[in-house]
Amino acid sequence: MKAMLEVMDQRHLIELQVLKDRIKSIRKSILDMTASTPAGIHVGASLSSIEVIATLYFMKMRHSPYRPGWEDRDRFILSKGHAAPALYAVLAEAGYFPKEELKTLKCLNSRLQGHPDLRTPGVDAPSGSLGQGISIGIGMALAAKRRGSRSRVYVLIGDGECDEGQIWESLMTAAHLRLNNLVLIVDRNGWQLDDRTEEIKRKAPLKGKIESFGWETYLVDGHDPEKILEALDLCELADGPAAIIARTTKGKGVQFMEGTNKGHKLRFSNEEYQEALTELEAS
Ligand SMILES: Cc1ncc(C[n+]2csc(CCOP(=O)(O)OP(=O)(O)O)c2C)c(N)n1
């Protein structure tokens, strides 16, 4: 038995190492998009969400790039739709479309627009207008239950996004419906468009607030895939909807952005791109 557990532990470690390598590759894709897209992208918000989205797609969700329309797949809703580059980079890494296509981000007629759209293979819900993702997730989770499907629904929101009243209405509804196939993840990077989240409108104590709406809630380091995975596993045991507050850094991995709001919307200069690449390679 002990030997078997050790083998399983080793397998888990190997999987986590593969995931970390993929995360590095995804981070590189985002840096490339930041350099190549003339319009500028929400790079800070994208870099803060990578570990969460990648852990979901590569370690947790049941999905298939060969059958994007498979009815019983798990669903992911990027409610903070401005972080679309992170989702596109993960989907490309997972094989939903060629990585080469990432170069067409925000181009006319491209399948990769500035915010998620159903024309992109692998995108489960359109988003961009903040506040709506949990409501969409409730519909999907309820539909899955009604057709007896094992499908689970994951929604990622921003902490600034919590200013939207619809977030709190949907939290109340999901708890009322006891949707134990719905998981919310909050990207708690501490910044929103204009300033720090706590300066614009205080969110703390966010965990207590979400719990008080009837959600089992966990707090994790949002850049540690192992911890994210542990929390996602716990969410599966909840009687109702469950939430994870992922403590993250906006602009994670690029020093001149980290802990600031410089990367809220940005296009890299050549020098910035080179600096970011050097940092990534050294990481
Ligand atoms: C309804 C709505 N209002 C305003 C915006 C413009 N907007 C885009 S990103 C953003 C800030 C969101 O902050 P947060 O959720 O903390 O995301 P972060 O970029 O910090 O990850 C805002 C206000 C929007 N997309 N939707």
Q: What percent of the chain has pLDDT over 90?
A: 90
Q: Report the relative pairing of strands 182-188 and 153-158 from DSSP bridges.
A: parallel
What per-residue confidence (pLDDT) applies to 117? 96
Rounded Cα distance between 219 and 217, Å, is 7
Residue 116: give its domain's CATH number: 3.40.50.970
Q: Which residues contact 78 (CB under 8 A, 6 or more apart)?
A: 53, 84, 86, 87, 116, 125, 127, 133, 156
Rounded Cα distance between 49 and 165, Å, is 23
| pLDDT higher than threshold 90 for residue 127 | yes
| pLDDT, tens digit (0-9, with 9 covering 90-100), for 97-118 | 999 999 999 999 999 999 999 9
| Residue to mutate (ligand 1; options 161, 201, 248, 249; most atoms within 8 A of CB) | 161
What per-residue confidence (pLDDT) applies to 5? 62
248 Cβ inside 6 Å of ligand 1: no
Tell me the one-letter amino acid at 283: S
What per-residue confidence (pLDDT) applies to 4? 63
246 Cβ inside 6 Å of ligand 1: no
Tell me the one-letter amino acid at 28: K
| pLDDT higher than threshold 80 for residue 1 | no
The helix (run of H) or strand (run of E) holding residue 242 is strand 242-247
Nearest ligand 1 atom, CA 49: 21
3-class SS of residue 253 = coil
What is the CA(92)–ligand 1 centre distance, in A? 24
227 Cβ inside 6 Å of ligand 1: no
| pLDDT, tens digit (0-9, with 9 covering 90-100), for 134-168 | 999 999 999 999 999 999 999 999 999 999 999 99
| Band (14; pLDDT cuts 50, 70, 90) | confident
80 Cβ inside 6 Å of ligand 1: yes
What is the CA(160)–ligand 1 centre distance, in A? 6
What per-residue confidence (pLDDT) applies to 7? 65
Beta-sheet strands, E only, within 70-209: 75-78, 153-158, 182-188
Whether 34 and 268 have beta carbons less than 8 Å apart is answered as yes
pTM of the full structure: 0.96
Rounded Cα distance between 120 and 102, Å, is 11
Average pLDDT of the chain? 95
Domain count, the chain: 1
46 Cβ inside 6 Å of ligand 1: no
Rounded Cα distance between 277 and 71, Å, is 39
104 Cβ inside 6 Å of ligand 1: no
Range of the domain at 71: 2-282
| pLDDT, tens digit (0-9, with 9 covering 90-100), for 224-266 | 999 999 999 999 999 999 999 999 999 999 999 998 888 888 8
What per-residue confidence (pLDDT) applies to 218? 98
| pLDDT, tens digit (0-9, with 9 covering 90-100), for 55-111 | 999 999 999 999 999 999 999 999 999 999 999 999 999 999 999 999 999 999 999
Whether 58 and 52 have beta carbons less than 8 Å apart is answered as no
186 Cβ inside 6 Å of ligand 1: no
What per-residue confidence (pLDDT) applies to 39? 86
Protein residue whose Cα sits closest to atom 21 of ligand 1: 45
What is the CA(84)–ligand 1 centre distance, in A? 12
What per-residue confidence (pLDDT) applies to 208? 98
| pLDDT higher than threshold 70 for residue 125 | yes
| pLDDT, tens digit (0-9, with 9 covering 90-100), for 173-229 | 999 999 999 999 999 999 999 999 999 999 999 999 999 999 999 999 999 999 999
